[in-house]
């Protein structure tokens, strides 16, 4: 992506407060999940190298190894916190599904 385009995208992302949704993933009510039969619901949001590079470009005035490590850790921590929130909101559903799988 050209640098000018990356700057515009960073501003839009920061104004919205979130990354744009990805069409290839299911939209789910994370506080009341319905487990799909194929088991393909993501508990942890995907994070690509492009996502990391965009986050570094938007957030780091100076690009260094340490800055990239901080951004990577921040992104991974946020995804883990989100996964725990989903688990806490849906632990009864997940427990029932795990017990059902054990029986079959």
With cut-offs at 50, 70 and 90, classify the pLDDT of residue 5.
very low
Number of neighbouring beta carbons within 10 Å of residue 71: 21
- Is the CB of residue 58 less than 8 Å from the CB of residue 13? yes
pLDDT at 76: 93
Distance CA 56, CA 49 (A): 10
Sign (positive/negative) of CA torsion 55, 56, 58, 60? positive
Q: How many whole angstroms separate alpha carbon 70 and alpha carbon 32?
A: 32
Instruction: Look at residue 2 and tell me whether its pLDDT is greater than 50.
Output: no
Instruction: Using only the alpha carbons of the chain, give its radius of gyration.
Output: 17
Residue 31 domain-assigned? Answer: no
Total domains in the fold of the chain: 1
Summarised one tens digit per residue, pLDDT across range 25-58 is 455 566 677 776 666 777 788 889 999 999 999 9
In a domain, 100, yes or no: yes
Domain of residue 73 covers 43-104
In a domain, residue 47? The reply is yes
pTM above 0.75, yes or no: no
Average pLDDT for residues 67-95, to the nearest whole number? Answer: 91
């Amino acid at each position: 992506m050209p640098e000018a385009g990356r700057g515009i995208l960073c501003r839009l992302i920061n104004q919205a407060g979130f990354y744009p949704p990805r069409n290839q993933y299911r939209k789910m009510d994370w506080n009341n999940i319905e487990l799909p039969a194929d088991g393909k619901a993501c508990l942890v949001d995907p994070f690509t190298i492009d996502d990391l590079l965009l986050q570094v470009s938007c957030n780091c005035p100076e690009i260094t190894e340490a800055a990239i490590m901080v951004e990577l850790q921040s992104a991974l921590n946020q995804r883990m916190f989100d996964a725990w929130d989903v688990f806490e909101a849906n632990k009864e559903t997940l427990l029932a599904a795990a017990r059902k799988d054990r029986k079959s």
